[in-house]
Amino acid sequence: MTNGIDHDAIDEALAGMSRRGLMLGAGMGFAALSGLSMVAPGVAAAHDQKGKYVDRYPDNKPKVGLLVYPNMVMQDLIGPLTTFNILGFENHLVWKDLSPVPTELKISVAPTTTFDNCPKDLDVLFAPGGTMGTIACMKDDAVLSFLADRGSRAKWVTSDCTGALIMGAAGLYKGYRATTLWNVMEFLPIFGITPVHERVVIDRNRMSGGGNTAGIDFGLTLGAVFRGEEEAKRCQLIMEYAPAPPFKSGTPQEADPKMVAAIKAGRVGMDKMVKDAAEAAAAKLA
């Protein structure tokens, strides 16, 4: 295990996939390198010397359904979505309707499809986090029904941050290992989930990321499953993802214990709301 990522689990997941499918994805990617000068921003393409855009993965686009919902944390969505976009996935931002969804930053995200119109068979189902939005989703039968339906057939069921609780409320993580935001980790067992304090956790075809910045780690790890390690490394280089935080305070294990205690104390009311919503959702599942 390196940097909180279980590479043995990744290798096992890669081995379980179709070798032909992996070779097809990687082969098209490397073949497209010839004659290309730089990567176009925000798309799975590059442009040649004449400025023509060339899709690196024209015939191999994993379908991803990304739940978007009011009061989600935008970073939880943007990190994975950026990696999926560079790696040429077919991304669907899914909500009940197409009205813009407000995030915690007061910047809205426009869904691209609805629950009813989202592809039935997804390669990846994903839920981002955001504590207050997560509480609402755990109480929302329409959200949980959509996730349970698509998750029953998706090749990968995934989350970042408190999105793990939403997947738990939909009954999709029961009996699996998962990670989430550190200060709600204690609530995962309510849904029969084994909590793991790691950056990215893989258990069979479930993959979860920790706090919101773990979304990039998660996205690259999942990208390697579909595109191969070299393409995921290329994506990492394109993003210049080389974290070097100015302080050693990013986990409760590293941070000043007084700071950890103060943050927990300031969340008592909100965490009780999380627990109550989780217990109510678990009771419905039972």
Amino acid letter, 84: F
Q: How many CA atoms lie within 13 A of 159 on its CB side?
A: 30
Other CB atoms within 10 A of residue 20 CB: 8
179-185: list long-range contacts, CB under 8 Å, 24+ apart. 179/208, 179/209, 179/210, 179/214, 180/129, 180/208, 180/210, 181/129, 181/131, 181/210, 181/211, 181/212, 182/210, 182/211, 182/251, 182/252, 183/252, 183/263, 183/264, 183/267, 183/271, 184/131, 184/271, 184/274
Residue with tokens 């191969």: 228
Per the structure block, which two tokens stand in for 65? 């359904």
Which of 72, 246, 241, 58 is CA-nearest to residue 160? Answer: 72
Q: How many CA atoms lie within 13 A of 127 on its CB side?
A: 32
Amino acid letter, 203: D
H or E stretch at 156: strand 156-160
Whether residue 137 lies in the annotated active site: no
Residue with tokens 């997560």: 134
How many whole angstroms separate alpha carbon 89 and alpha carbon 61?
A: 5
Report yes or no: 208 and 159 within 8 Å, Cβ to Cβ: yes
Which of 125, 214, 115 is CA-nearest to residue 166? Answer: 125
Residues labelled as active-site residues: 161
